[in-house]
Amino acid sequence: MKLKIHSVTKRYQGGRKTAIDQFTAELTPGIYGLLGPNGAGKSTLMNLITDQIQPDEGEILYGGKNISKLGKSFRSILGYMPQQQRLYEDFTGRRFLWYIASLKGMRSSLAKERIQLLLNTVNLEDDADKKLGAYSGGMKQRILIAQALLNDPQLLILDEPTAGLDPKERIRIRNFISTIAADKIVLIATHVVPDIEFISKEIILLKQGRLVLKDEPHRIVAGLQDKVYEYLLSEQELIQIQSQYRVSQITRGTEGIWTRIIHDEPLKDRLSRKVEPNLEDVYLYHFE
């Protein structure tokens, strides 16, 4: 099944603020990393795709049908993990999943089976009967992912699934998402590049509500070939360069400061070495 987002525009403030601007994309099973700075429109796009808000222009089709007309049958194939909000702190993890399963209208025999399976998958079996108020940030993220997966969705939307997590939890969540994504369309919004760099089939760059790029990570990165260099600079030169160029990394060594710069025209008359671009460089190139 395909999700087609066709020329979608969403405005707020009585039309004065355009949050999503003529956005068109087609998504098929696999992981899509949605990257953009604060305010780029990521949450708005996710709210549109999950049919919580409706576009002012354009349409979103799943399997060729407008999602706002699919109603219940669209919800049955949809899993959504919102940004972490206040959870029901007095609920236990297990009770929370039962609660969501009942909101999703799941039969209790199926709910029981799925809850057991998912508690296992997100590694919360031993903590399932503790209150959510006592969960760590990572445990809360994992129970939120579990609730999104209750109905074994074909379309899974994750809004900043690793926000506020320590590196170990981030890696765990990232690996977990990549294992469950085989046959689903998974859209992950984030501004943390390493979270999606290696697990995404495609990266979508969003800037001020507009689609900047949508392509496989290695092709997006290849677009910066010959634009990323490291220069050996002094402290004084570094201060000057930082105010003029996109600096993505600074490495201090005995011989000076190797400064990674992304630019269209290489600097002249300086000791330099060409380096392989990465997705973080792409992010800086488009968003700095």
Ligand X SMILES: Nc1ncnc2c1ncn2[C@@H]1O[C@H](COP(=O)(O)OP(=O)(O)OP(=O)(O)O)[C@@H](O)[C@H]1O
**Contact with ligand X (CB under 6 A) among 43, 76, 121, 178:** 43
What dihedral do alpha carbons 168, 50, 280, 236 form, nearest 10°?
A: -100
In sequence order, what are the residues at sequence separation of 6 or more whose Cβ sits closer than 8 angstroms to the Cβ of residue 259?
A: 230, 231, 232, 233, 238, 241, 247, 249, 250, 251
**Contact with ligand X (CB under 6 A) among 21, 32, 35, 36:** 36
Task: Please choose, from the candidates 179, 178, 173, 151, the residue with its C-alpha nearest in 3D space to the C-alpha of residue 161.
Answer: 173
Cα–Cα distance measured from residue 104 to residue 269, given in angstroms and rounded to the nearest whole number: 64
DSSP labels, 216-232: -HHHHHHTTTTSEEEEE
Q: Tell me the per-residue interface mask from 76 to 115 with ligand X, x by CB under 6 A, - otherwise.
A: ----------------------------------------
254 counts as binding ligand X under rule CB under 6 A: no
- Segment 161 to 220, residues that bind ligand X, using CB under 6 A: 191
243 counts as binding ligand X under rule CB under 6 A: no
**Which stretch in 1-9, 11-19, 110-118, 263-271 sits in contact with ligand X by CB under 6 A?**
11-19
**Which stretch in 38-46, 65-73, 136-144, 145-153 sits in contact with ligand X by CB under 6 A?**
38-46
Q: How far is the CB of 189 from ligand X (least distance, A)?
A: 7
Contact criterion met (CB below 8 Å) for 33 and 205: no
Residue 127, exposed/middle/buried by CB under 10 A (0-12, 13-18, 19+)? Answer: buried
273 counts as binding ligand X under rule CB under 6 A: no
List the structure tokens of 167.
């590196």
15 vs 253, beta carbon nearer ligand X: 15
**Contact with ligand X (CB under 6 A) among 1, 2, 17, 88:** 17
Cα–Cα distance measured from residue 279 to residue 282, given in angstroms and rounded to the nearest whole number: 5
13 vs 85, beta carbon nearer ligand X: 13
41 vs 217, beta carbon nearer ligand X: 41
Contact criterion met (CB below 8 Å) for 65 and 235: no
- Local structure of 63: helix, strand or coil: coil
Q: How far is the CB of 261 from ligand X (least distance, A)?
A: 26
In sequence order, what are the residues at sequence separation of 6 or more whose Cβ sits closer than 8 angstroms to the Cβ of residue 47?
A: 53
Q: How far is the CB of 54 from ligand X (least distance, A)?
A: 13
41 counts as binding ligand X under rule CB under 6 A: yes
Q: How far is the CB of 203 from ligand X (least distance, A)?
A: 15
Which segments within the chain are labelled E, that is strand?
Answer: 3-12, 17-27, 30-35, 57-62, 65-66, 78-81, 155-159, 185-190, 202-207, 210-215, 228-233, 246-253, 256-262, 272-274
19 counts as binding ligand X under rule CB under 6 A: yes
40 counts as binding ligand X under rule CB under 6 A: yes
122 vs 148, beta carbon nearer ligand X: 148
Q: How far is the CB of 134 from ligand X (least distance, A)?
A: 27
> What residue ranges bind ligand X (CB under 6 A)?
12-13, 17, 19, 36, 38-44, 191
